[in-house]
Amino acid sequence: MSDYEHGQALRKTGFWGKQGAGAIILAKSTGKFLIPFRSSYVEQPNTWGVWGGAIDSGEDPKEAAKREVQEEAGYRGGDILMIPLYIFHDQKSGFKYYNFLAVVDDEFTPNLNWETENFKWVEFGQWPTPLHFGLKALLQHSGAAIQKVIEKVRGSETVNESDGEPKIILRENSGEIKKGDFVKIDDDYGPYGGNQGKVIDFVKMIRGSQGMRRQRMSVMPQVVLRISGVEDAIQVPLSKVTKFDWNIGW
């Protein structure tokens, strides 16, 4: 996608591009993290964040984040190990941001440009302020996984992609829906279409229709769901949800 298309997405959703990817960088030789200070010319200016940007059309999130480490941060060293971390998902717009831990051999001096005003190599937990909301969320959700990587690095152990956060892979299941199952609401079902949720109960809705001579009553089975970003449980016709299985992968 072009910058124009990314800008169009920004005007619609408040996010640069339809999807984004980025990374914080860990130097194995020192155990320190490289983070950028965002300039006053970008969204959420004058905050400490991650190296990242929009994902181009057809681009894999890991490759997009690796590209940002090389292009935006200017890393020109050896191999980069990309460890998957927390994925931010804005339910309202559908925007996703894929976070990674980019592990390199040594510290380096990154690029500074109109997007990035400053940088710091810091110890885990000694984060400067103010932090970008995305980096705050990343540390909140993936802090434990990052610390485990640091422990392995300091112990001269081998680090690999599986040291990151597991990805949740959903596979459709045609079996009977029960309490506790994970389901997806059909895309065409009103404001909640496309959302995923957990079944907490079942109810029956009685619906009447006026005929020529008498009123006909029908029973519509409903599932009661909890979905992310909605405080109260919602009811959805059973016919409008599809069951999925949870599968953990990397």
- Which tens digit of pLDDT belongs to each residue from 189-226? 877 777 777 888 888 766 555 544 444 445 568 878 87
Helix, strand, coil shares of the chain, percent, nearest 5, are 20, 40, 40
pLDDT at position 214? 46
Strand, coil or helix: 224:
strand
Domains annotated on the chain, with CATH: 3-165 (3.90.79.10), 169-249 (2.30.30)
pTM confidence score: 0.64
In 15-126, the DSSP E strands lie at: 19-27, 32-38, 51-54, 81-89, 96-104, 116-122
In 14-80, the DSSP E strands lie at: 19-27, 32-38, 51-54
Strand, coil or helix: 85:
strand
Residues comprising the chain, all counted? 250
pLDDT at position 114? 92
pLDDT at position 243? 78
Strand partners, 84: 100
CA distances from 246 to 169, 172, 187 (A): 6, 9, 20
pLDDT at position 82? 95
Question: CB atoms < 10 A from the CB of 164, how many?
Answer: 23
Of residues 69 and 232, more confidently modeled: 69
CA distances from 241 to 94, 179, 200 (A): 19, 13, 14
Of residues 93 and 131, more confidently modeled: 131
Maximum average pLDDT range among 62-76, 173-187, 189-203: 62-76
Strand partners, 216: 209
Per the prediction, the chain carries an average pLDDT of 81
**Burial status of residue 141 (CB atoms within 10 A of its CB: 0-12, 13-18, 19 or more):** middle
Question: CB atoms < 10 A from the CB of 76, how many?
Answer: 7
Q: How far apart are CA 161 and CA 100, in angstroms?
A: 10
pLDDT tens-digit profile of 107-148?
999 999 999 999 999 999 999 999 998 999 899 889 999 999
Rounded to 5°, angle at Cα 138 from 106 and 126: 55
Question: CB atoms < 10 A from the CB of 9, how many?
Answer: 19
Maximum average pLDDT range among 51-55, 57-61, 66-70, 233-237: 66-70
Q: How far apart are CA 184 and CA 193, in angstroms?
A: 8
Stated as kind and residue range, the H or E segment containing 245 is strand 241-249
